[in-house]
Amino acid sequence: MIRVLSEQEIVRRESLQKLRDLGVDPYPADLFDVNTTSKQIKEKYKEGEELNVVIAGRLMSRRIMGKASFAELQDSDGKIQIYVNRDEICETEDKTMYNTVFKKLLDIGDIIGITGTVFITKVGEISVKVKELKVLTKSLRPLPLPKVDADGTVHDAFTDPEKRYRQRYVDLVVNPEVKDAFIKRTKLTNSMREFLNKKEYLEVETPILQPLYGGAAARPFKTHHNTLDMELYLRIANELYLKRLVVGGFDGVYEFSKDFRNEGMSRFHNPEFTQMELYVAYKDYAWMMDLVEEMVEKIAMDLHGKTEIQVGDNLINFQRPWKRYTMYEAIDHFTGIDISKMDEATMAETAKKLGVEVDKSMGRGKLIDEIFGEKCEGQLIQPTFITDYPVEMSPLAKKHREHEGLVERFEAICNGKEICNAFSELNDPIDQRARFEEQLELGKRGDDEAMLLDEDFLRAIEYGMPPTAGLGIGIDRLSMIMTNSNSIQDVLFFPQMKTEKGGVEEWQDYNPTSMT
């Protein structure tokens, strides 16, 4: 498909050719040896000091006043004003560099290198007086450029969500807060990794292509390996592989795992997402709760320097200790009804009275889960641990040491959403086989998210897996909270999208020299 170039694109291509005609390479190969950044200059410069700098970045605005101009240069950590004076950059009679290259042939969005000295303007802005200017990259498309007025109000911001997500590179250039959210996301994983390494847990990598998918309830993506001629699945979780490593004698293992689930999409769901899973031998779920609190509190401190974080309308405080409720207690707390001693029929009646949709296929466990999901989860704003889930919902968790029908499992809920899921891991191979078999029954009845029976995993734990605490924590969800983002798309560089109509069009064959 051929795209007709816009007026502005034609102008830029003509400028590109004119630069070449003047002997200016618009895409030079040699390195440009930058020695500082905009932010460093602004932080370190003292008035009166003589400071020579070499910086590079994108030209973001120009104010041309005849023989002198101001412009803004944006580099990796901010913007700085540059002052371009005709006679300073053109010391001889030849004023081409200023009159033609800078004033006519450069455009907003071009990447240039600057050698100059730092000074402070009449109105007190730290700026760089340009001695030499080098074209490093000509930009052929106009940037959607927001304007910021004297009050700091942004006008005409680049806001179209579709364009922002499809062209994240543009979003990152023109919307500085976007860049900041992604930097925070990386700081978050760095902080978590540092925390786990300090405890001497081993970071590992396990297969993404799996012959059997397991470790969670979800529909998988399916693929095919040609040489082995076999079906493979993209992992929906890495739990069963990490537990095999615990069997093998690693007492603390973790992995940042990109997982894939072939499910609906929403502002909380992307088909590929990231979890950190951790397994520690000889521990239980109560111990793991303490670890989660400590770890997330540290992350908040590392990212924000405090434990309180504004998320939408809520101020969330991650300071330890977090509230802890059993699932029954939470339901009692939010509905005033104690369902812990109810039989299935009474519970179904109660659910109906609470306005929770029920159908006959729901067992006791599903009913409890539904009531909790409807009546409690959304109300939990401050970080809260919910413990002791129904056994039916948790085929990989160990049965509760005291309470029949429950498992030793907890989730941390924050801002009305689950951020992690953990259990005392089921290590009784006989019980595990029985739980898998229940899942198979569900699968036969049409539950396309039921787990598969993994014989090799059972073989592994038949050799003996020590009592182990396991954790899965949603990195995207936690990033959303830590960056006050409303959508998962705001913490994923390239969120999943349908293909653009007609794809990205090719350029028409355009030869500026043939135009006059």
Judged by CB, which is closer to RNA: 247, or 469?
469
Angular region, 214: left φ>0, alpha ψ -120 to 50, beta rest:
beta
**Window 215 to 244, contacts with RNA (CB under 7 A):** 216-218
Give the strand pairing for 209-210 and 406-414: unpaired
# of chain residues touching RNA (CB under 7 A): 82
Judged by CB, which is closer to RNA: 138, or 281?
138
Among 27, 44, 132, 161, binds RNA (CB under 7 A): 161
**Residue 200 CB, nearest approach to RNA (Å):** 27
Judged by CB, which is closer to RNA: 119, or 510?
119
Judged by CB, which is closer to RNA: 125, or 455?
125
Judged by CB, which is closer to RNA: 124, or 305?
124
Q: Could you tell me which stretch among 155-163, 225-233, 283-291, 434-442 binds RNA (CB under 7 A)?
A: 155-163
Judged by CB, which is closer to RNA: 247, or 368?
368
3-state helix, strand, coil split of the chain in percent (to 5) is 35, 25, 40
Among 256, 268, 332, 466, binds RNA (CB under 7 A): 268
**Residue 146 CB, nearest approach to RNA (Å):** 7
**Window 359 to 418, contacts with RNA (CB under 7 A):** 417-418
Q: Could you tell me which stretch among 28-36, 248-256, 301-309, 493-501 binds RNA (CB under 7 A)?
A: 493-501
Among 310, 346, 486, 513, binds RNA (CB under 7 A): 486
Query: Per CB under 7 A, does 46 bind RNA?
Result: no
**Window 53 to 112, contacts with RNA (CB under 7 A):** 61-68, 70, 81, 83, 85-87, 104, 107-108
**Window 416 to 475, contacts with RNA (CB under 7 A):** 417-418, 421, 449, 474
Among 158, 213, 254, 279, binds RNA (CB under 7 A): 158
**Window 269 to 328, contacts with RNA (CB under 7 A):** 269-271, 273
Alpha helix ranges (H) inside 55-207: 86-89, 96, 161-166, 168-174, 176-198
Q: Where are the beta strands (DSSP E) in 337-494?
A: 384-390, 406-414, 417-424, 468-474
Among 8, 35, 310, 513, binds RNA (CB under 7 A): 8
Q: What are phi and psi of 75, to 5 degrees?
A: -115, -165
- Would you call 209 exposed, middle or buried from its count of C-beta atoms within 10 A (0-12, 13-18, 19+)? exposed
Judged by CB, which is closer to RNA: 122, or 444?
122
Nearest CA to 187 out of 316, 78, 298, 77 is that of 298
Is the omega angle on the peptide bond into residue 26 within 30 degrees of 0, that is, cis?
Answer: no
**Residue 69 CB, nearest approach to RNA (Å):** 8
Query: Per CB under 7 A, does 499 bind RNA?
Result: yes
* CA-CA-CA-CA dihedral for 202, 203, 206, 208, to nearest 10: 160
Q: Where are the beta strands (DSSP E) in 346-416?
A: 384-390, 406-414
SS3 366: helix
Q: Could you tell me which stretch among 264-272, 292-300, 322-330, 452-460 binds RNA (CB under 7 A)?
A: 264-272
- 342: tokens are 């109810």
Nearest CA to 314 out of 175, 437, 212, 416 is that of 416
Angular region, 169: left φ>0, alpha ψ -120 to 50, beta rest:
alpha
Query: Per CB under 7 A, does 352 bind RNA?
Result: no
d(CA 142, CA 164): 15
The tokens 């498992």 sit on which residue? 407
Among 289, 415, 489, 491, binds RNA (CB under 7 A): 489
Judged by CB, which is closer to RNA: 261, or 364?
261
Do the beta carbons of residue 340 and residue 347 sit within 8 Å? no
Q: Could you tell me which stretch among 160-168, 195-203, 226-234, 297-305 binds RNA (CB under 7 A)?
A: 160-168
- 111: tokens are 């990447």
SS3 463: coil
Nearest CA to 350 out of 323, 332, 330 is that of 332
